[in-house]
Amino acid sequence: MVNHSPRRSTRRSFLAGTGAVAAGLTFLPKDGWSAEEKKLNFYNWDTYIGETTLADFKGVTGVDVSMDLFADNDELFAKLKEGNPGYDVIVPTNDYAERMITAKMLMALDHTKIPNIANIAKPFLNPKFDPGRKYSLPYMWGTVGIGYRKSRVDGVPNSWKALYDSNKYSGRIALLGAPSKVLQVGCKYLGWPLNEADPAKLEKVAEMLIKQKPHIKVFAEDNGQDLLLSGEVDLTMEWNGDILQVMAEDKDISYVVPDEGGLLWEDTLAIPNGAPHPENAHAFINYLLDAKAGAAIADFIQYATPNAAAKALMKTEYTGNPAIFPSDAVIARCETAIYQGTEYTQLIDRLWTKIGAA
């Protein structure tokens, strides 16, 4: 199943990030949980942790955290597919977490060692992709919606119709280049569940997109926000984090999750099987879910936190920003993608190929 990262980095950070991924891991034998060495290997997205979080954690526990960066879920998955090269804590997005659970790549979490679970908001405690949170805990979440240029669009584009089923903005639209995301949101627009797996219905979505194709300028691979910023398109389907970046540069850009609802994503904290320091990993996850530490992270990276205690500490510029926290009514209509097996993935890819070839 496809999942381009919520914050598919811009090309600038991507180029820097690829170079920054270094090895430097230790493979010391683990000699019992109590006598774990004071080290931890954290595999994370770029710019996705508080400025001082790692140093603060060392101050509290004495554990040295070394952080490696990955650019997208495919990279994370590929690295762990053939066995864990030495990571203790990883940050997969929900459907990749589910894929890893299915493939038995994650270690069951010991909830008694993570008391800060109590800080997490209720709706995040029992997701479909990990019932009972046995293998993963929520880190940050967000949505896929419409980024748009206010001066070139009539009012607020609060329906997916503007992108999926209308010639009103012909030639000024970009959709994501992510097959499953585009088809799933198309299901939402037609009033079906996001994870609709009926081939006939998905076929209908594909037909609608084929009809809409002449009006779509591009399926943006990694750069919908850049296209919006440079005036190439006026509406783009994008991850909220990417649009937030360009909203800071251009006041004419805004973001909305349409009334039909959209895709909700969640990045999770998990411990891969074979982690050399599982005890430290539990302590680290517990620390990240702490109210103060969580607030410091959210304040720095500006993503929505699932940590209710941390959110309570934040200023209203953050908690009141609709691009970070859509209204409860909209969230109620959003859904997370679940992993639906090989046949579904193949069907999605075939339909996507068909849309491109039509």
Partner 1 sequence: MESWRRNPLVFWIIGLPPTAWLLGFFLIPLALVWVLSFAELRGVVDMEVTGTLSNYARAIDPLYLQIFVKSFVFAGLTTVVSLVFGFPVALAIVFAPRRWRALLLLLVILPFWTNLLIRTYALIAVLRTRGFVNFTLEWFWDQANAVLSLIGLGSLQLLGGRFEPLELLYNNTAVVVGLVYVHLPFMVLPLYASLEKLDRSLIEAALDLGASQLHAFRTVVVPLALPGIISGSILVFIPALGSFLTPDLLGGTDSQMIANVIERQFKSANDWPFGSALSFLLMYLTFGALALRALYSRRTAGQGRG
By CB under 8 A, name the binding residues for partner 1: 1-4, 11, 74, 81, 99, 102-103, 105, 171, 177-180, 213, 216-219, 221, 230-232, 342, 345-346, 348-350, 352-357
Shorter beta-carbon distance to partner 1: residue 52 or 345:
345
Q: Taking the C-alpha atoms of 235, 239, 243 and 244 in order, what is their torsion angle to the nearest 10 degrees?
A: 150
Shorter beta-carbon distance to partner 1: residue 116 or 212:
212
Closest CA to 119 of 347, 277, 312: 312
Shorter beta-carbon distance to partner 1: residue 63 or 337:
337
CB-based contact 255:240 (threshold 8 Å): yes
Shorter beta-carbon distance to partner 1: residue 119 or 212:
212
Token couple for 129:
């992709």
Beta bridge partner(s), residue 44: 69
As to burial, measured by CB atoms within 10 angstroms (0-12 exposed, 13-18 middle, 19+ buried), residue 112 is: exposed
Shorter beta-carbon distance to partner 1: residue 18 or 66:
18
Token couple for 229:
């910023």
Task: Report how far residue 297's alpha carbon sits from residue 232's, in angstroms, rounded to the nearest whole number.
Answer: 33
Shorter beta-carbon distance to partner 1: residue 98 or 279:
98
Closest CA to 144 of 95, 201, 91, 89: 95
Task: Report how far residue 261's alpha carbon sits from residue 153's, in angstroms, rounded to the nearest whole number.
Answer: 20
From the CB of 219, what's the least distance to partner 1, in Å?
Answer: 6
Going by the DSSP 8-state scheme, the letter that residue 239 receives in this structure is E
Length of the chain: 358
From the CB of 136, what's the least distance to partner 1, in Å?
Answer: 16
From the CB of 342, what's the least distance to partner 1, in Å?
Answer: 5
CB-based contact 223:242 (threshold 8 Å): no
